[in-house]
């Protein structure tokens, strides 16, 4: 189950664009103070937000199609197992996208008038790369102890966010911090709900790993059939996740209740654009 070299290269390209080039370009645009038409920090962060949404929703569709294909009765056991392995590899994309959503989304909230003290912005900026690193380590080193530890830490982080995000929304709502853009609180609650669904769906993924670990020999045919059955059982939860993602995207476009803000954004986000 270890991802092939070309898959690792593709993952590296995605990381380079989202983690290094995009923030660097945003900071460069902020320092030049460029406004009006053209590349601006806000547009760059919005572009990143859209790309993450596409990778999350689109790759989830690929996982579902691969699982459905693996359930075909005319497949040989080896073909069924390779198709399930493809589903597992595709599943990396939405996990990477989810890991960066809070960072990119948190930076974008500054443009709608929800300011953050420096320590809070530091946490927002740090959580994305840290979370992404755990996801990558768990995926690329799945047959090593470090990968197993990273997987447990990443799952623990998800459980923490399931509790922390709603509490943060409740506190921000009670203090009026969300008044300029109340829809942001709803989007955060949808994100927490997606984390809950994600944990439930991931219960089925261990069935894809042979008993001896990802490097072990191909499992018996019955193991592939069990894996297909478990994944098919959680497909409704994946469909529910699509609906939640679509709702979050709709809120980001319609922005109900938004009040034009005049406060300056932080240096991390860049200069406010008219």
Contacts with 266 (C-beta within 8 Å, 6 or more apart), sequence order: 110, 115, 116, 118, 121
Output DSSP code: residue 96: H
Token digits of residue 124? 């927002």
Residue 228 CA to its chain's centroid (Å): 24
Tokens coding 84: 């399930």
pLDDT at 223: 67
Kindly tell me if the per-residue pLDDT of 134 is higher than 90: yes
Nearest to 106 by CA among 173, 48, 32: 48
pLDDT number for residue 156: 95
The three-class DSSP label of residue 59 is: helix
pLDDT of 32 above 50: no
Q: Look at residue 26 in the predicted model and tell me its pLDDT.
A: 52
DSSP class of residue 19?
Answer: I
Q: How many CB atoms lie within 10 A of CB 256?
A: 10
What local confidence, expressed as pLDDT, does residue 90 receive? 86
Q: How confident is the model at residue 20 (pLDDT cuts 50, 70, 90)?
A: low
- In sign, the C-alpha dihedral spanning 73, 74, 76, 79 is negative
The tokens for 54 are 């596409």
- The structure's pTM equals 0.79
pLDDT at 230 over 80: no
Q: Which of 57-61, 74-78, 116-120, 128-132 has the lowest mean pLDDT?
A: 74-78
Closest CA to 134 of 123, 149, 121, 114: 149
Name the average pLDDT for the chain. Answer: 79
pLDDT given at position 272: 46
pLDDT at residue 209, rounded to an integer: 52
Alpha helical stretches, state H, 91-219: 92-109, 118-140, 145-175, 183-202
Split at pLDDT 50, 70, 90, the class of 154 is: very high
What does the block give as tokens for 7? 């898959």
Residue 216 has pLDDT above 60, yes or no: no
Cα separation, 108 vs 113, whole angstroms: 10
DSSP code at position 113? T
């Amino acid at each position: 189950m270890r991802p092939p070299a070309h898959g690792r290269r593709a993952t590296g390209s995605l990381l380079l664009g989202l983690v290094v080039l995009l923030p660097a370009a945003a900071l460069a645009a902020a320092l030049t103070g460029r406004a009006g038409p053209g590349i601006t920090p806000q547009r760059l962060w919005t572009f990143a937000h859209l790309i993450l949404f596409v990778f999350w929703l689109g790759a989830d569709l690929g996982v579902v199609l691969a699982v459905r294909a693996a359930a075909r009765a005319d497949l040989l056991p080896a073909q069924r197992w390779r198709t399930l392995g493809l589903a597992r590899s595709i599943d990396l994309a939405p996990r990477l996208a989810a890991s960066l959503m809070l960072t990119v989304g948190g930076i974008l909230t500054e443009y709608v008038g929800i300011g953050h003290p420096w320590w809070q912005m530091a946490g927002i900026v740090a959580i994305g790369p840290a979370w992404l690193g755990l996801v990558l380590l768990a995926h690329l080193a799945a047959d090593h102890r470090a990968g197993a530890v990273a997987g447990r830490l990443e799952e623990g982080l998800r459980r923490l966010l399931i509790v922390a995000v709603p509490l943060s929304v409740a506190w921000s709502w009670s203090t009026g911090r969300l008044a300029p853009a109340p829809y942001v609180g709803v989007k955060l609650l949808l994100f927490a709900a997606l984390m809950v669904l994600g944990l439930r769906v991931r219960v089925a993924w261990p069935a894809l790993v042979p008993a001896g670990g990802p490097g072990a020999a191909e499992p018996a045919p019955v193991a592939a059939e069990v894996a297909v059955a478990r994944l098919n059982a959680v497909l409704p939860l994946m469909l529910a996740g699509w609906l939640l993602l679509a709702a979050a995207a709709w809120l980001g476009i319609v922005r109900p209740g938004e009040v034009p803000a005049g406060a300056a954004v932080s240096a991390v986000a860049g200069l406010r654009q008219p």
